[in-house]
Structure 1
Amino acid sequence: METIISTIVIVACIYFFSRRKTKATEQETDGCTQSEDSADMQQEEKQEEPPHTRDLCIELLKQLNCEVSVEEEDENRLYFEYHGEHFIIDASNESFFINIWDPKWYIVPLDDLEQMSNVRKAINTINNYSGTTIVYCIEEEEQKFVLHSKRQCILPKDLPNVKEHLSALLNDFFTVKLWLSEQIGMQNKES
């Protein structure tokens, strides 16, 4: 359900920005009082201004009552807790793109081959339908099969309801976990 909401928000944003661009073009052709030179200068100034996405993320997370900490070695890596789950956002002030990670939230022992097989099948099913993807890694030293979730998206400051947009993106991670649980349950019944 939240994936559908996220998709609707993204489509609405694309429509909003394309419509906004069309209106600006129509105003210019209808005899706008601004000269073409000053409009070009304003557009260049807008393009030269960095997006400040990292700063926007920090501000929005604080509005969502999240305590944010920044890694010393990498100031673009933000750590926070949202609804009891630990998340990481990689965001730069020079790009609109962010990567959201929910690390190490499901672990299967490597010696449980049947469960690993069921989890991998569930992952493949879910990744076909969700914008938030599940990835796994194998920690051989600790003999663990570990799941992480990831989402890459844009976060422009001009987006209407940007706080709600970020909240919907984060909530989608919980939806993916629920789907995984349901898929594993179905796989286990079949086995």
Structure 2
Amino acid sequence: DGSTQPEASADIQQEEKQEEPPHTKDLCIELLKQLNCEVTVLEENENRLYFEYQGEHIVINASNDSYFIEMWDPWWCIVPMDDLEQMSNVRKAINTINTHGGVTIFYSIEEEGQKFVLHSKRQCILTKDIPQVKEYLKALLGDFFTAQNKLREEIVPLRTEN
């Protein structure tokens, strides 16, 4: 029966397409360059991309073997640990913001300098099959700024509560 041949051919093409590696890191570098970002890759970790986007230092972990990328905006806010009220306000704001978005804000404590340091992170898929993939990546990067703005908005009301 000749009617199943196009279906079989489509299945074979789909299998061949799936066997091809995703080339996610290469795509990511290409898109970042289109966004006028200068990308640095260190020898120690060839899957970690460093670049600046609108004044923020961003890191993306991307491999050519996976469709997933991990995006980081490290060290974007520092609160002195001796300011307990501010630390409390920031922690409350982080908990509120993290329930409503794709970007997760978290903190680390830098013991030596007695600093409460904020970072943001998100995981997502990046593939050339996404429509308007450059705009998609641009929107993902923009979400880091949205999260920072939401934190600022949340802290002001928290200060008036205390």
Using structure 1 for the length normalisation, give the TM-score: 0.81
Segments of 4+ moved more than 6 angstroms? none
The reply on whether 1:178 has 2:149 as its aligned counterpart is yes
CA distance in 2, matches of 1:170, 1:32: 45
| 1:167–1:35 CA distance, 2 compared to 1 (3 A) | closer
CA distance in 2, matches of 1:180, 1:113: 17
CA distance in 2, matches of 1:166, 1:44: 27
Residue type of the partner of 2:144?
A: F
The match for 1:34 is: 6
Return the offset for 1:185: 0.9
Match of 1:153 among 112, 120, 124: 124
CA distance in 1, matches of 2:113, 2:147: 25
CA distance in 2, matches of 1:76, 1:125: 32
How do 1:106-121 and structure 2 match up within 5 A?
A: 106-121=77-92
Return the offset for 1:157: 1.0
Return the offset for 1:72: 1.1
Give the gaps of 5 or more residues in structure 2.
none
Match of 1:166 among 123, 137, 153: 137
The match for 1:51 is: 22
Return the offset for 1:33: 5.6
> Normalized per residue, which structure has more strand?
2
Match of 2:59 among 71, 85, 88: 88
The reply on whether 1:144 has 2:115 as its aligned counterpart is yes
1:121-165 Cα offsets, whole Å, 9 max, x none, are 000000000111101001111100000000100011111100000
> Normalized per residue, which structure has more helix?
1
Secondary structure of the 1:73 match is coil
CA RMSD of aligned residues (A): 1.2
Identity %: 71
Number of positions where the alignment pairs a residue of Structure 1 with one of Structure 2: 160
Match of 1:73 among 44, 49, 56: 44
Residue type of the partner of 1:34?
A: P
